[in-house]
Structure 1
Amino acid sequence: MKYYPMFDLFDDFFTGNTTSDVMKTDIVEKDGNYEMSMELPGVKKEDIQMELKDGYLKVTATHGSNTEDKDEKGRVVRKERVSGSYSRSFYVGEGIHQEDVKASFDNGELKIVVPKEAPKQIEENKFIPIE
């Protein structure tokens, strides 16, 4: 059985994390990359942060709503919109660097491309000066 580091079968099951219900993510393996499509409806681009640390890619999104229905006395009659901060982490590998990850955001969908394997470092020829 081949191990895919991006997938953890126990990701949300044992932690009771319901963030994946909000940040639904599809992951496809294509052309040597993992292509992730994450639903973030109602979130603005400037409210999304991505961090790569110790092989984990963490995506955090903040969603706020200041709109409330109030009656004539200023009491909230109904507030159905959710506001808060959500995050998900994916293990992408120790060898992946920040510059290897590409991301774009359009119409409530965050698209992330992560190389399946860390790019190989090409050793440059370094000439030693002779004195």
Structure 2
Amino acid sequence: MAPNHPDRPKRHEALEQWFKSMNHIMQEKPVKGILQSIDDFFRQPFPYSTIHVDVNETDTEYEVTAELPGIKKDQISIDVINNALTITVNKSETSTEVNDLEKTHRHRSSMQRFSRTIPFAQPINERKIRASYIDGLLKIKIAKKPGKKIDILIDQD
């Protein structure tokens, strides 16, 4: 097609009209709400996908410190199974948004569950575990099981 073809302005206008129509569709409900939800997800998909944990060891115990900012005490569970400690957080949020102007009512609920398991090299005493939670900092002290010391005899042979 030659550059000065008479159909060229018509095609340009048709393409421009198509883009305007697509833009209009993307701005209307429910498409706009779906696109907004996708944008929200990718801005912050997994804010607490892992739990930051520090483990210190003394002669008599393990000291585990976990950072859990914004988490409430009742959202945390601690389990000890097979010489390992598991910290689990179940976080749920609910929000309601009413827009009288657009006559819309949006109700959002989300549930997040994440956990971290820390295995221990030395046997632990499951009966001697203490935990405290203050200002987003979980501190757990776990006593080690005392082992039996075995003396080595000198073989005379």
Q: TM-score range by the shorter chain?
A: 0.5 to 0.7
Deviations 1:31-60 (A, max 9, x none): 543222111122221221111111111111
Counterpart of 1:104 in structure 2: which amino acid? S
Task: State TM-score, norm by structure 1.
Answer: 0.60
Judging by fraction of residues, say which structure has more helix. Answer: 2
Structure 2 CA distance for partners of 1:68 and 1:94, relative to 1, 3 Å: farther
Higher relative contact order, chain-length normalized (CA < 8 Å, sep 6+)? 1
Counterpart of 1:103 in structure 2: which amino acid? A
What is the root-mean-square deviation in Å for CA atoms of aligned residues? Answer: 3.0
Judging by fraction of residues, say which structure has more strand. Answer: 2
Moved over 3 A (4+): 18-22, 68-72
**Count, aligned residues:** 100
Matches within 5 A, 1:42-81: 42-72=70-100, 73-75=104-106
The range that moved more, 81-90 or 36-45, is 81-90
Unaligned runs of at least 5 residues, structure 1 = 1-17, 122-131
1:92 aligns with 2:123: no
Matches within 5 A, 1:8-19: none
SS in 2 for 1:41: coil
Identity across the alignment (%): 25
Structure 2 CA distance for partners of 1:56 and 1:119, relative to 1, 3 Å: same
Unaligned runs of at least 5 residues, structure 2 = 1-45, 149-157
Deviation at 1:75, TM superposition (A): 3.1
